[in-house]
Amino acid sequence: MKKIKIQAKVAPKVLKEVYITTEFIRLDAALKLASVVGTGGQAKMLIEDEQIKVNGEICTQRGKKLRDGDAFVFENQEFLICKES
């Protein structure tokens, strides 16, 4: 039997910056600000379905505080929180 070699290509993560003017932003609000979702209800569903990673770990806390330098990932898109001066 002949072996067939299959290679899968994974799409690279795309880094987008999300700028805030406050000390922190809640995860659900960050999802809306980054245009990942249109409403807080949609953000809640994504978070509850464990589809969002914060700093490399799945996060199920809607109110998780994200600060300057924190990152979240949704569907191979990575978002970096940046505080405006």
- Is 66 within the bounds of a domain? yes
Instruction: Report the distance separating Cα 5 and Cα 84, nearest Å.
Output: 48
What are the residues whose beta carbons fall under 8 Å from the beta carbon of 14, sequence distance 6 or more?
A: 76, 77, 78
- Alpha carbon distances (Å) from 39 to 20, 23, 30, 75, 81: 18, 22, 11, 18, 19
Q: What is the pLDDT of residue 3?
A: 74
- Is 4 within the bounds of a domain? no
Q: What is the pLDDT of residue 25?
A: 97
Whether the predicted pLDDT of 5 surpasses 90: no
- Is 63 within the bounds of a domain? yes
Average pLDDT over residues 30-45: 95
* Residue ranges making up the domain that contains 63: 26-83
Instruction: Write down the pTM of the prediction.
Output: 0.81
Average pLDDT over residues 50-79: 96
Instruction: Report the distance separating Cα 61 and Cα 2, nearest Å.
Output: 49
41: left (phi over 0), alpha (psi -120 to 50) or beta: alpha
